[in-house]
A and B are shown apart, each in its own frame.
Chain A
Amino acid sequence: MERIVQGTSPAEVVAKLQKADGYYITNTARDLSQSDYKNRILLHTDILAADARERAGYFSLEITGGASVHVDILRKQVDPFLKLEILREKMPTTMFQTLCRGVNLFGYRPYPQNIIRFTVKEFAKYVDVWRTFDFMNYVPNMQAVFEEVAKAGKINEPCICFSTGPEHTNEFYLKKVREILDVTGEDIILCIKNHGGLGTPQRIGQLVDNIRQKHPDLPIHYHGHNTDGNDTGRIVEAVRNGANIVDAADHSFTGFYGPPPILTVIQTLKDMGHTAIGIDEAAVIESSDVIRDERQYYDDFESQIKGFQPTVQIHKLPGGAMGSSLEQAVKGGFLDKMPDILHKELPRVQKELGNYWSVTPGSQILWTTAVSNVLGGERYGNPSGDLRNLLLGKYGPFPFYEPETWIYEKVLGENWKTVLEDEGGVEDIGDMDIDKEKATLTERIGEEPTDQQLTLYLQHPNDAVDFFKFEAKFGQVHVLPPSIFLRQGGFDPGETLIFTDYTGKEHVVEVGPSIVSAEDGETSVYLNVDHHQRVYSFEPDIPEGAMAKEAIMSKEEIIVLAKAGDMRAPFSGNICEISVEEGQQVVQGDKLAVMEAMKMQTPISCEMDGIVTSIFAKVGDSLQPGDKILRVDIDE
């Protein structure tokens, strides 16, 4: 049996999978990076592994999508399209795979239909296999993506998100498979998306078997996470019961929440008589060997809590969100509350909110609600805007049952019934004027953007502009190895850094002294760049204490000021919308602005009737509690 190569049509791919005597493997590098390294594995490392991964003979390399598109521009400062372009050149035959959140694309909330289509069209130029899911398993949320992928001649891999509990029966999932096939037709691969790594091997085996009995020709791709340490067991049962493709990752980088090691899967299944089709085991080992030394530089991004978490069967957090959740707990100083949050509050919230699938963005809603319930004292006392939208049905209908009415009351207010009636249901988001957005972007970056730049901007406007400016200032930084890009504590005096720029030119940088001017506190960093001395100056930092003292206020103070029309940021986060203009008449309850923190949006509501007299904050500003947003005065 031969491997399937890039450029094969969806129908041919499906035909080959149907005839396959054995199983295929997807190298889930992106999910590994997201689950175990907070998405920080650099393109530099992927390039290092590219040659061996190309020879290893995978069904596909899952290398983009999920949160990675955002993190690429936000934290890795790499163009997600350039990444694919570079890797494609080095890996001409391997199919590239993405993970797309349906109507939420690679973000956290629904996008207009024309943006979805525009984005899919641009990414489909590089991406061969489109794994698409919806956290409510609501098929209409995925339809636009399905259509664009089919139009581009690429492979659709719709997901049924998997979870456990009394409602999560084989019958339910078979019904979902039917719903998907009714929309997509037969030339697809079905993905069982076990983002939490839930259920036992036996449970997964039964599910695969049930689908296989009902749909003998439907290729099945099992995706899981190793959070409980037992995903190899689930993979084995999936393959034994007829799954055609499974997900795993390079062993030298495997951690606790991502996919299990590829080699372990191969060895276990080989002993049972199942062949990994197209796989060159030596190249699988080589891919791990060539990147092994790089792992040390990602140390800071590995999980704060080490060890497998079999309790995932209780809290159900998806592997992809484990790292970032624990990071928040560390940063927020509530690591000690984690047992309460994870093992008591999360399962409770989950049941209360309808036992839907804990995966982006639904998992963030469960997580922030549980955190706020535990830390805030009053359960559902401080609901996020996204929880509100969930209850309003903006993300789709609840799959099994609706939350109890007291939760609606807490979140939507006393007259929740009217609110639900007026605002409820899947929102029909109007198309965005792409030409207008393009004009705005042109103005912001000072030149006409490419379609790729526009795509990034339409998804993450402020972060994309920041990235374009970064690129103009610092160049293509993916050429810097993690030992430079992620260095902590500065470089050693006299240290020599060698790297090759994107044109293939090698550069040598020697680190010289840093001298602080006694006069103005400016630091001059001396570097010998290609044997020529260069000086880089940095203005002195404003002491953090001074800033913090002025800004941070107590919650009570902020509420008192808000009642008087002085709107301050109630928590630390970014302004993502200013909803009013200066001079605008407002009444109590009007939405004035929207702030975002931990990927969740929260509206800032007006506390009095009046007129907006001044606006201090602008979209994209990062505010501390107590920072001014705007001012409302009584209209006289």
Chain B
Amino acid sequence: MWLYILKRVLQGLLTVWFIATATFFAMHNVPGDPLTNDRAMTETTRANLEAKYGLDQPITTQYLIFLRNLARGDFGISFVQENREVNDIIREHFPVSAILGVLAVVFAATGGVLFGALTALYRNRLPDYLIMFLVILGISVPSFVVAALSQLSLVSLNTLVGFTVLPVAGWGTVMHMLVPALVLGLSTMAYLTRLMRSSMLEVTSSDYVRTAKSKGVPPTRIFTRHQLRNAILPVVTVLGPAIAAITTGGFVVELVFAIPGLGRYFVEAVQQLDYTVIMGTTVFYGAFLVFMVILVDVVYGFIDPRVRLDS
């Protein structure tokens, strides 16, 4: 077991190193650099700035310096947000993304399990059709459309009622979180609903459920103990990567709802060619994703004893 975890962690580190290296060289190969600005600079100014940020060094030297600082967990100072360390940016803004992400996952998981169970129970009847229709919508409509539409409906709602029921954008109170989190979790919720439904149907027609029924086990007990509990396993499997994906993928929602999360920095850094922030956020998100995948694999071993980790 411990050997397995160690092996996975080493693999994970290798993955993160690979992500960092690929990003580093891809980024430096893009035309332009962080110093490029629409007011052209004199040679002297450019030379001074390059020296200040170490951009005058050969690329291999820059890479080695980057690796050395990475080992120390130091990503340096942002080119655009001068005076701000990349670590500070991550420290201040990741919690916002994380809180939003956690709430979105909670929404997605509860919604997915409940709706999935409901559709399986009422298979081929009205609730099933209705929910599955919405699920298809939830999966196929991109989040920026849903985000914009829900924001628009908030405006209409507030106008209709005459006071601010739910704020349209911003961050700070529970009220600010509800709609963005729901929007962020929506496609995952839809996906989980489908997963839960098919998983439930499979379990329902399984031998042990039939046996339990014929034994005369009470329906509520069959439903909870035999059906739900077994059907929920695949959902748990995808939950880990889903948490990572949601937490790191919220930049559209963050943008639309003006939420000061990390996703915005991630995207803007690429547009601004802000080298240090690109590296910092990419490595951080990469490591986070890898960690979540490992975590799920390990936890899965505890939930389902049939999974033998060390073999």
The answer to whether A and B belong to the same complex is: no
Which residues of A approach B to under 8 Å, CB–CB? Answer: none
